[in-house]
Structure 1
Amino acid sequence: MTVNPFLNEILQIIFNNLDDDIDSLFSSLFVNKNWCENVIPVLWRRPFGHNLETTKMKKIIPILLSQISLQERINLGLENIPTKTMFNYVWFIQQFDISLLCSLIYDNEYIMAISKTIFMKTKRLDELTFSGNFKKKLCKNIFTLPNLQMLLNHITKLKFNTYGFNLSFSDLSIYFKNIKDLTVEFLFEEYKNNLKFFEDLIEFISVQNNLEYFNLNVNPPMFSDDYNRHMEKWRGLFFKLSESHSIKYIMIKGCFNGEQTDLNFLFNCSNLEELHLDSMIIDFDQMICLKDIYLPKLFSFSLLDCFIISGSGKRYEEKFFKWLDYIMEFLKNHSNNLKELKIISYRELRE
């Protein structure tokens, strides 16, 4: 019996809207063959993003190993791994979490074989997730595979966790130039590593052609003197972001305890649509610029649990109410376009 193509289109629309509903998608596999054929591409688009328990995630490994070449199977001495599968699963993969793969298996040869297969056989890769503990040599071996640069040029979303500091943004700057969405999870290390990280991050941002979304989460250590030190590149990071006139979204959570945030960088962010500052240290004197800043496309703004500091010598009450005045002027400037606003502060203004 011939399946109506129109039915397939309807099923694909339904399953695409169930992208985050894993239970429903898995249940759909067992309805009939036609449903299965339409839901598999959706399930395998983000196989590393289903947020399953580790024991369940490990079940993906034999399927991925079944997709590697015969010679690699021989080299790895694989047994009890299927040689034929119903679908070419790797073809559908658009999101690859190398960090998660490394946490599921610890053998570099297996990691290399699976990574190589995904990069060489996928139809299109849009998103990559890395961790700093990923081996630099292994990274180079993967990214220098034949004809891989064309695939890397199509990757627009990158997530990076600094844990381990083996792999840096200076390594990634060589291969990625078209990242639109960049998420960074920063974990404190010793001072020289922190400084090098921000230098490399600024360099990475500078070589991107069209960066639109930037999300930085700074995780303070429980015990570290480095957290209280100034970071010379902190101010430079914001102004480098503002040089990317394509930037639409900025989300910063956390900062160095001895560092301040200069909001003057916003003067250059004419295309900014969303600005979210959380748990940051902002210099009261630098907030004066807010009354003169107008971002014509800004529709969402949040200021959450930030420290407002100043050493200007003004009376506490004057500084506190002036801070509110500057925020109010900023909001008035955007009264016609601002749709979402959230300002929450549990922390007192301090000297």
Structure 2
Amino acid sequence: MTLPTFNIDIIFEIINKLKDDGASLFNFLLLNKQICELTIPILWENPFKFCNIKVESKHYFIIQTYINCFNEDDHKKVISILNSEFENLLYNENEIPLLFEYGKYLKEFNIRDLSNAVISWYKIFKKKNYLMNSIYHNEVEILKNHLFCSIMRQSQRLNCLNWNIRFNDKKILKIMQHKIKYLDYLILYCDGEYDINIAKMYINFFKNHFQNLSSLKINILYDNKCTEDFISLVKSKNNLEEFIFDYESVKWNADKFDDLITNILELRANSITKL
């Protein structure tokens, strides 16, 4: 009996339907070259979503893969941050030729996941090379900023952005501006005290660089200092269909956000389908 043959479009639809099923995607990689080539872009849209946060080795692998995709200038910067004497150690990770430009497939930029992954990479890199006695907080933060910019540079287009308004690095905005033009989902959060001017700068930047934002989520926000800025952001997005505000994190202070919720309802009452 001859087995049925599916055309490439049907195979792609099957893979895409299973895009949140990590086990199936990893199995597809092993079938044949063509199916592997269809699966890799989907798997690397957001590789972190298939990783348990406690499994640092997976985070290490993802960050190392991104580093192996860096151009020469970005590689040199990583080496200079870590220390020039580690050049051979870093390049030894790149002995196996890459089959794909993995970074260009990134479509979901989650700064929290990336931050955790970079810390895991840094710790394992130091441990593998017997350098655990020299871990420096400032070095990690500088490394994070550089890797965020370099990974963002590799991406071709983002669909989802999960952003901490405490993060302060204007260089990444210049890299980001052409990649978020058609962004669909924006999640903003703050995990502690923040500079109000930096937060306002980000919100204004996002307002001016999105065209068709359909979903906005505000998560973990402890005060209402940016209420007017958020309202202005929503006002500028005619296609907004979903607005989610995490009351759970601020329920002790929820009444401060009444103006934000009320104004957004008034502005987008005819378009919002989920609140």
TM-score by length of 2: 0.73
Match of 2:135 in 1: none
Please show how residues 94-133 of structure 1 align to structure 2 within 5 Å: 94-106=107-119, 107-133=140-166
3-state secondary structure, aligned to 1:214: strand
Amino acid at match of 1:163: D
Q: Is the 8 A contact 1:185 1:219 kept in 2?
A: no
Give the structure with higher Rg (CA).
Answer: 1
Residues 230-258 of structure 1: CA deviation (Å, up to 9, x unaligned): 42x5134322332135632233xxxxxxx
Match of 1:216 in 2: 245
Aligned-residue Cα RMSD (Å) equals 2.7
Equivalent position to 2:232, from 190, 203, 208: 203
Distance in structure 2 (CA, Å) of the matches to 1:53 and 1:97: 13
Shift of 1:219: 2.2
Distance in structure 2 (CA, Å) of the matches to 1:210 and 1:143: 23
Distance in structure 1 (CA, Å) of the matches to 2:199 and 2:181: 16
3-state secondary structure, aligned to 1:158: strand
Asked if 1:248 is matched to 2:272, the reply is yes
Match of 2:64 in 1: 62
Asked if 1:152 is matched to 2:180, the reply is yes
Q: Is the 8 A contact 2:78 2:146 kept in 1?
A: no
Distance in structure 1 (CA, Å) of the matches to 2:235 and 2:246: 20
Distance in structure 2 (CA, Å) of the matches to 1:209 and 1:68: 37
Residues 210 and 141 of structure 1, relative CA distance in 2, 3 Å threshold: same
Match of 2:252 in 1: 227
Q: Is the 8 A contact 2:189 2:219 kept in 1?
A: yes
Q: Is the 8 A contact 2:204 2:229 kept in 1?
A: no
Shift of 1:14: 1.1
Amino acid at match of 1:32: N
Q: Is the 8 A contact 1:116 1:142 kept in 2?
A: yes
Residues 7 and 228 of structure 1, relative CA distance in 2, 3 Å threshold: closer
Distance in structure 2 (CA, Å) of the matches to 1:229 and 1:121: 39
Distance in structure 2 (CA, Å) of the matches to 1:100 and 1:90: 15
Asked if 1:90 is matched to 2:103, the reply is yes
3-state secondary structure, aligned to 1:184: strand
3-state secondary structure, aligned to 1:128: strand
Match of 1:163 in 2: 191
Match of 1:276 in 2: none
Please show how residues 31-46 of structure 1 align to structure 2 within 5 Å: 31-46=31-46
Match of 1:266 in 2: none
Unmatched 5+ stretches in structure 1: 189-193, 252-351
Amino acid at match of 2:252: Y
Residues 140-180 of structure 1: CA deviation (Å, up to 9, x unaligned): 120023xx423222222111222124366522223223322
Shift of 1:99: 1.5
Amino acid at match of 2:171: N
3-state secondary structure, aligned to 1:105: helix
Q: Is the 8 A contact 1:126 1:154 kept in 2?
A: yes
Distance in structure 2 (CA, Å) of the matches to 1:169 and 1:246: 28
Amino acid at match of 1:69: N
Amino acid at match of 2:154: K
Q: Is the 8 A contact 1:47 1:95 kept in 2?
A: no
Match of 1:331 in 2: none
3-state secondary structure, aligned to 2:188: strand
Q: Is the 8 A contact 2:155 2:179 kept in 1?
A: no
3-state secondary structure, aligned to 2:104: helix
Distance in structure 2 (CA, Å) of the matches to 1:42 and 1:230: 41
Distance in structure 2 (CA, Å) of the matches to 1:186 and 1:112: 22
Amino acid at match of 1:227: W
TM-score by length of 1: 0.59
Please identify runs of 4+ aligned residues in structure 1 that moved more than 4 A: none
Distance in structure 1 (CA, Å) of the matches to 2:39 and 2:253: 51
Q: Is the 8 A contact 2:165 2:199 kept in 1?
A: no
Residues 51 and 159 of structure 1, relative CA distance in 2, 3 Å threshold: farther
Amino acid at match of 1:97: N
Please show how residues 250-269 of structure 1 align to structure 2 within 5 Å: 250-251=274-275
Shift of 1:209: 4.1
Structure with more helix by fraction: 2
Matched pairs, number? 232
Residues 161 and 38 of structure 1, relative CA distance in 2, 3 Å threshold: same
Structure with more strand by fraction: 1
